[in-house]
């Protein structure tokens, strides 16, 4: 028999006390792993999601974080809108002309390039209107470019694919302007299939439901992004619904002129007629300029009075730095305390057993065990409890993550993989446990070391 | 004083051991001018309770150090050895049978016997032959069918037989037995003594057995009265 098997036998003999002590260590380590996993997943998810395929979001002046939360994560509420004509300032001359020709309405100098088009350097701008809901999910009105030009994934290199159907189009003979694409979770949660009609409710989940629906023509493959929780409708159809028409404003005061914002939906004019440019607004504009113009563009836009440009990555990094990471450290400190208390319980458990084991120790000494042998056996017992408890805790901590997917995925869009090491800090768990186990065993080992043999035989 | 002829396996000269008294001063427990045990010899040391029998065995085995004198085992002077060296000598050269058996409750009979071997090896690892040796000894003491019993599942007599096997498993040259039948019922006393004597003969192990019992002592050829060889208290 070696010292390890002797230590194991001693632990088995006191299996209730050993198990309970190991359990407390398991709980502590599970909590540490859970905090590391969840914070790692949140951080990774935020970083990945903020890398959405566009560099800047332009919207009305207000909270930059709110603009990012609303546009990227479909959380919070939209800020104010900006005119559609402002969106067209990001288009080159031919783009403006095409848009004007396609939509119609009033636009000053449609032949000139947009004010910021030179900074776009051939990049793209995608308009987005938000504020409505489809069931509990956010309704995102946009152009087909949303799925045609944007990409997703960790490396932002994966094109959006449809598990069934196709992308919506600007106009189709069978559905007019009223086509929609839904995210995988929306389809699953609402039981949607191709050909179903979805109806947006205005402003809030419980708001008035529009009478005109959108035909589902495509269901997205799961992306692990907030887009899984979005109902995407054609912006052309969206503009035709009640409450989506920009009111006329007094040129001097900027105040809305009451009663001027009548939508085609109310007048029963849901036809091929598009809402004119001057009646349109957008909640956000997604920009991806080519080259390195994003930084200077952000500064230039932010100098203006009514619009702001924010970098989703910058905002998320700020959020991580101010909120997520400090919170993780606080939770980590708390859970580490639980581990420390568990280590103390190991100490107490073994220490309390020393009184009963003085005779056993004396017998082993009489059989030829040296003081070092006895010390090693006690330390091994402490280490075994710490490591066994820690291992169980590590497994439980990682198992709880995937088990929680059923509850967390629908709301966060984040999937926690089984045994995915999310943080390099986990590599410290084993040496940490060895250190704690050694420290916890040190005092009982010292007592064992000093046990007088002759007195206890 | 008594001596064996020729080279003694165990040779004690002018051995003294004193303990501090609670009220101050020192109490001499052992003062033995000479005691020799020959190789393979079986010696009974008879003495009353409190006469220093257990202390003498503790001193010989190195569990407690002597204050002065000489203890030679196979001609090697043990006095002055560090505690670690004494532990090693005890593990490798000596077997010990206790009055209260002292089996470890967490270990089976087989494991208790193997434990005697474990500490004899520097590495603490037992070789593949260890289990066979331990099993053979248990078989010889009549416990071949109870090797995997815990001490609590064995009778008092069976526990002492396990203790005998444990003391002999490491092929010691000297077996120290401290009142091995004190806690055994009379019907088992003879069997235990016979077992120890027989096994020591078979293994060619010298035996130093201390007892207060005349009945036990009378079973051996060489009987030493501790009161005669120990000058302490006189």
- pLDDT per residue over A19-44, tens digit each? 998 998 899 889 888 888 888 777 77
Confidence of residue A250 (pLDDT cuts 50, 70, 90): low
Query: Can you give the pLDDT at residue A55?
Result: 85
Structure tokens at B30: 């052992």
- pLDDT per residue over A277-300, tens digit each? 999 999 999 999 887 777 788 888
Average pLDDT over residues A6-19: 91
Which run of H or of E encompasses B96?
strand B94-97
Confidence of residue B1 (pLDDT cuts 50, 70, 90): very low
Query: Residue A258 pLDDT > 70, yes or no?
Result: no
Query: Can you give the pLDDT at residue B124?
Result: 44
Average pLDDT over residues A185-197: 95
Closest by CA to A128, choosing from A360, A286, A309, A300, is A286
Average pLDDT over residues A183-200: 94
Query: Can you give the pLDDT at residue A50?
Result: 64
Query: Can you give the pLDDT at residue A266?
Result: 52
- pLDDT per residue over B59-84, tens digit each? 999 999 999 999 999 999 999 899 88
Least CB–CB distance from A363: residue in B104, B124, B125: B104
Domain count, chain B: 1
Structure tokens at A87: 């969106």
Give the Cα separation of A287 and A448 in Å (integer).
Answer: 71
Is A457's CB within 8 Å of B84's CB? no
Q: Name the percent of chain B in helix, strand, coil, to the closest 5.
A: 35, 25, 40
Is B119's CB within 8 Å of A366's CB? no
Average pLDDT, chain B: 87
The answer to whether A81 touches A282, Cβ cutoff 8 Å, is: yes
Which is higher by pLDDT, A307 or A412?
Answer: A307
Structure tokens at A114: 């947009």
Query: Residue A95 pLDDT > 80, yes or no?
Result: yes
Structure tokens at A407: 């509850």
Which of helix, strand or coil describes residue B128? helix
- Give the list of residues 6+ apart from residue A432 with CB closer than 8 angstroms, or none: A339
Which of helix, strand or coil describes residue B163? helix
Give the Cα separation of B168 and A413 in Å (integer).
Answer: 70
Average pLDDT over residues A425-437: 83
- pLDDT per residue over A76-87, tens digit each? 788 888 999 999
- Portion of chain B with pLDDT greater than 70, in percent: 93
Which is higher by pLDDT, A407 or A328?
Answer: A328
Is A367's CB within 8 Å of B61's CB? no
The answer to whether A126 touches A96, Cβ cutoff 8 Å, is: no
Give the Cα separation of A264 and B45 in Å (integer).
Answer: 119
Query: Can you give the pLDDT at residue B3?
Result: 45
Query: Residue A248 pLDDT > 90, yes or no?
Result: no
Is B105's CB within 8 Å of A454's CB? no
Structural domain range at position B190: 38-66+80-229
Confidence of residue A267 (pLDDT cuts 50, 70, 90): low
B183 in any annotated domain: yes
Indicate the domain borders of chain A.
3-45+319-456, 56-310
Structure tokens at A360: 């056993």
Residue A143 CA, chain-centre distance (Å), reads 24
The answer to whether B161 touches B143, Cβ cutoff 8 Å, is: yes
- pLDDT per residue over B124-172, tens digit each? 444 556 788 899 889 888 888 999 999 999 998 899 889 989 988 888 9
Structure tokens at A95: 């783009």
Conformation bin of residue A197: beta by default, left when phi > 0, alpha when psi is -120 to 50: beta
- pLDDT per residue over B197-218, tens digit each? 998 998 899 999 999 988 888 8
Structure tokens at A358: 């003085």
Query: Can you give the pLDDT at residue B123?
Result: 41
Query: Residue B11 pLDDT > 80, yes or no?
Result: yes
Query: Residue B121 pLDDT > 80, yes or no?
Result: no
Residues in chain B closer than 8 A to A457 (CB atoms): 63, 98, 102
Residues in chain A closer than 8 A to B123 (CB atoms): 2
Query: Residue A449 pLDDT > 50, yes or no?
Result: yes
Inter-chain Cβ pairs, chain A and chain B, closer than 8 A? 83
- Give the list of residues 6+ apart from residue B58 with CB closer than 8 angstroms, or none: A453, A454, B64
The answer to whether A440 touches A387, Cβ cutoff 8 Å, is: no
Q: Is B120 on the interface with A (CB under 8 A)?
A: yes
Closest by CA to A116, choosing from A82, A144, A155, is A82
The answer to whether A29 touches A388, Cβ cutoff 8 Å, is: no
Residues in chain B closer than 8 A to A369 (CB atoms): 87, 91, 118-119
Which is higher by pLDDT, A268 or A289?
Answer: A289
Beta bridge partners of B206: B174
Query: Can you give the pLDDT at residue A249?
Result: 62
Is B90's CB within 8 Å of A453's CB? no
Which of helix, strand or coil describes residue B107? coil
* 3-state per-residue secondary structure call for chain A: CCHHHHHHHHHHHCHHHHHHHHHHHHHHHHHHHHHHHHHHHHHHHHHHHHCCCCCEEEEECCCHHHHHHHHHCCCCCCCCCEEHHHHHHHCCHHHHHHHHHHHCCCCCCCCCCCCCHHHHCCCEEEEEEEEEEECCEEEEEECCHHHHCCEECCCCCEECCEEEECCCCCCECCCECCEEEECHHHHHHHCCCCCCEECCECCCCCCCECCCCEEEEEEECCCCCHHHHEEEEEHHHHHCCCCCCCCCECCCCCCECCCCCCCHHHHCCCCCCCCCHHHCEECEEEEECCCCCHHHHHHHHHCCCCEEEECHHHHHHHHHHHHHHHHHHHHHHHHHHHHHHHHHHHHHHHHHHHHHHHHHHHHHHHCCCCHHHHHHHHHHHHHHHHHHHHHHHHHHHHHHHHHCHHHHHHHHCCCCCCCCCCCHHHHHHHHHHHHHHHHHHHHHHHHHHCCCHHHHC
Query: Can you give the pLDDT at residue B4?
Result: 47
Residue A83 CA, chain-centre distance (Å), reads 30
Output the pTM of the full model. Answer: 0.69
CATH no. for residue B164?
3.40.50.300
B30 in any annotated domain: no
Least CB–CB distance from B120: residue in A13, A368, A371: A368
Residue A62 CA, chain-centre distance (Å), reads 23
Average pLDDT over residues A359-372: 88
- Give the list of residues 6+ apart from residue A287 with CB closer than 8 angstroms, or none: A54, A55, A56, A57, A58, A90, A120, A123, A124, A125, A294, A297, A309
Query: Can you give the pLDDT at residue B125?
Result: 44
Residues in chain B closer than 8 A to A10 (CB atoms): 106
CA dihedral B57, B60, B65, B69 (to 10 degrees): 120
- Portion of chain A with pLDDT greater than 90, in percent: 37
B112 in any annotated domain: yes
Is B111's CB within 8 Å of A9's CB? yes
Average pLDDT, chain A: 86
- Give the list of residues 6+ apart from residue A87 with CB closer than 8 angstroms, or none: A125, A127, A282, A285
Query: Residue A100 pLDDT > 80, yes or no?
Result: yes
- pLDDT per residue over A114-158, tens digit each? 999 888 888 899 999 999 999 999 999 999 999 999 988 877 788
B96 in any annotated domain: yes
Structure tokens at A286: 């997604």
Beta bridge partners of A158: A152
Query: How far does the CA of residue B74 sit from the closest CA of chain A (Å)?
Result: 18
């Amino acid at each position: 028999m070696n010292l390890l098997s002797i230590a194991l036998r001693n632990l088995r003999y006191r299996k209730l006390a050993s198990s309970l002590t190991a359990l407390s260590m398991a709980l502590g380590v599970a909590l540490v792993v859970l905090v590391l996993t969840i914070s790692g997943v949140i951080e990774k998810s935020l970083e990945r999601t903020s890398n959405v395929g566009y560099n800047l979001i332009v919207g009305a002046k207000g909270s930059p974080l709110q603009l990012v939360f609303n546009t990227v994560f479909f959380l919070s509420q939209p800020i104010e809108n900006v005119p559609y004509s402002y969106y067209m300032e990001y288009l080159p001359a031919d783009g403006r002309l095409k848009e004007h020709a396609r939509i119609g309405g009033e636009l000053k100098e449609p032949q000139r390039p947009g004010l910021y088009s030179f900074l776009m350097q051939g990049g793209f701008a995608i308009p987005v209107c938000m504020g409505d809901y489809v069931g509990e999910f956010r309704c995102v009105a946009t152009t087909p470019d949303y799925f045609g030009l944007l990409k997703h994934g960790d490396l932002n290199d994966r094109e959006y694919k449809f598990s069934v159907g196709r992308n919506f189009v600007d106009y189709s003979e069978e559905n007019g302007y009223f086509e929609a694409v839904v995210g995988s979770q929306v389809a699953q949660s609402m039981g949607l299939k191709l050909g179903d009609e979805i109806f947006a409710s205005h402003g809030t989940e419980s708001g008035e439901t529009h009478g005109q629906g959108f035909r589902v023509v495509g269901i997205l493959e799961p992306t692990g992004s907030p887009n899984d929780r979005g109902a995407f409708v054609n912006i052309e159809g969206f503009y035709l619904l009640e409450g989506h028409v920009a009111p006329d404003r007094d040129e001097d005061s900027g105040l809305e002129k009451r009663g001027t914002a009548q939508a085609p939906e109310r007048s029963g004019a849901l036809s091929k007629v598009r809402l004119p440019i001057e009646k349109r607004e957008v909640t956000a504009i997604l920009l991806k300029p080519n080259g390195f113009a994003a930084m200077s563009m952000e500064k230039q836009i932010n100098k203006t009075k009514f619009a702001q440009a924010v970098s989703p990555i910058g905002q998320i990094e700020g959020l991580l730095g101010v909120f997520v990471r400090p919170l993780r450290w606080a939770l980590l400190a708390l859970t580490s305390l639980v581990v420390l208390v568990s280590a103390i319980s190991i100490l107490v458990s073994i220490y309390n057993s020393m009184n009963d084991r003085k005779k056993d120790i004396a017998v082993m000494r009489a059989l030829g065990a040296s003081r070092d042998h006895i010390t090693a056996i006690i330390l091994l017992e402490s280490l075994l409890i710490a490591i066994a408890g820690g291992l169980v805790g590590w497994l439980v901590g990682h198992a709880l993550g995937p088990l929680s997917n059923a509850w967390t995925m629908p709301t966060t869009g984040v999937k926690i993989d089984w045994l995915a090491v999310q943080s390099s800090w986990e590599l410290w768990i084993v040496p940490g446990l060895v250190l704690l186990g050694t420290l916890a065993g040190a005092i009982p080992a010292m007592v064992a070391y000093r046990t007088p043999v002759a007195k206890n035989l | 004083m008594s001596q064996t002829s020729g080279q003694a396996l165990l040779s004690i000269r002018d051995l003294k051991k004193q303990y501090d008294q609670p009220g101050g001063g020192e109490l001499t427990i052992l003062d033995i001018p000479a005691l020799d045990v020959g190789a393979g010899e079986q010696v009974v040391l008879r003495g009353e309770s409190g006469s220093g029998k257990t202390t003498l065995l503790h001193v010989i085995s190195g569990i407690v150090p002597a204050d002065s004198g000489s203890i030679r085992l196979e001609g090697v002077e043990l006095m002055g050895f560090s505690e670690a060296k004494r532990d090693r000598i005890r593990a490798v050269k000596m077997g010990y049978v206790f009055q209260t058996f002292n089996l470890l409750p967490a270990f089976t009979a087989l494991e208790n016997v193997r434990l005697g071997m474990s500490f004899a090896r520097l590495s603490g690892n037992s070789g593949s032959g260890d289990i066979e040796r331990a099993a053979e000894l248990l078989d010889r003491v009549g416990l071949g069918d109870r090797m995997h019993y815990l001490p609590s599942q064995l009778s008092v007599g069976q526990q002492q037989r396990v203790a005998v096997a444990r003391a002999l498993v490491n092929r010691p040259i000297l077996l120290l037995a401290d009142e091995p039948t004190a806690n055994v019922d009379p019907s088992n006393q003879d069997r235990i003594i016979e077992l120890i004597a027989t096994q020591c003969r078979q293994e060619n192990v010298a035996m130093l057995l201390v007892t207060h019992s005349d009945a036990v002592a009378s079973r051996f050829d060489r009987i030493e009265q501790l009161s005669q060889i120990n000058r302490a208290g006189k």
